[in-house]
């Protein structure tokens, strides 16, 4: 992949990450929640998630102007790691809360279990597969040139 294409990819990732991040911060400061299609900005820690996504998006955007290719790729990996932490913990939370039942029932019903996994989801869950692909590409493609810069 050419330098220009990779930079464009980082710019796209930056915008896709910064927008929900800023929206999350604004919504949490105004004390409101918002759902659009399959994306939601609700639940605990909206402010923190917003702050982390904004910082991750900023990292993607700053990496565009980074001259050193290894530095550029490492910044993108760091930003992706931040998204993974937020998205990964949300998935863990959904999985763990989908198992127990209510009241005297130990385990939930099959319907209840399936319903736990229905959308809407927080933005970082949607960003998770994209960043996974990005990091895989960075290590497969960028790894060839590591140490040479």
Partner 1 sequence: MKLDTEKRWELIDKLARETVEYGAEKTTITTVLAELTVKPLTGIPFAVAVLYGFWAFFNAFAGFFTDGFFVPLFDEHWLPWLQRVFPLEGSWLYYVFVGEPGAQNSFEAFGILTSGLFVALGVVFPAIVAFYLVITILEDSGYMPRLAVLVDTVLHKIGLHGFAVVPMILSLGCNVPGVASTRTLETKKQRFMMMVLLSIFIPCGAQIGVMLSLIPEYFGYIMLYLLAGFFLFGYLLDRIIPGKSPEIMTDVPPFRIPTVSNVTRKLGVKVKGFLTNAIPFVLLGVGLVNLLYLGGVISRLSNFLAPVITGWFGVPKETVAPLIAGFLRKDLAVAQLTAIQMSNFQLITSVVLISIYFPCIATFSMIIKEGRRSGGVIKVLGGSLLTLGAVVFLWGGLLHLIGILLGVA
Integer Cα distance of 37 and 120 in angstroms: 7
Q: Which stretch binds partner 1 (CB under 8 A): 10-18, 22-30, 31-39, 77-85?
A: 77-85
Contact between 82 and partner 1 (CB under 8 A)?
yes
The site string for partner 1 over 29-48 (x = CB under 8 A, - otherwise) reads ---------------xx--x
Select 37 or 103, whichever has its Cβ closest to partner 1.
103
Integer Cα distance of 137 and 132 in angstroms: 9
Phi, psi of 35 (to 5 degrees): -130, 130
Select 37 or 111, whichever has its Cβ closest to partner 1.
111
Contact between 112 and partner 1 (CB under 8 A)?
no
4: tokens are 């220009």
């Amino acid at each position: 992949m050419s330098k220009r294409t990779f930079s464009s990819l980082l710019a796209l990732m930056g915008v896709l990450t910064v927008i929900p991040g800023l929206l999350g911060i604004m919504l949490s400061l105004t004390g409101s929640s918002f759902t659009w299609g399959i994306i939601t900005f609700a639940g605990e820690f909206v402010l923190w998630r917003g702050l982390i996504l904004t910082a991750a998006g900023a990292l993607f955007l700053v990496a565009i102007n980074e001259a050193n290719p290894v530095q550029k790729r490492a910044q993108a990996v760091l930003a992706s790691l931040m998204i993974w932490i937020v998205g990964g913990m949300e998935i863990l939370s959904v999985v763990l809360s989908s198992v127990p039942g209510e009241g005297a029932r130990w385990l939930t019903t099959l319907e209840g279990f399936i319903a736990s996994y229905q959308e809407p989801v927080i933005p970082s869950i949607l960003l998770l597969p994209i960043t996974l692909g990005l990091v895989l590409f960075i290590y497969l493609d960028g790894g060839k040139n590591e140490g040479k810069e």
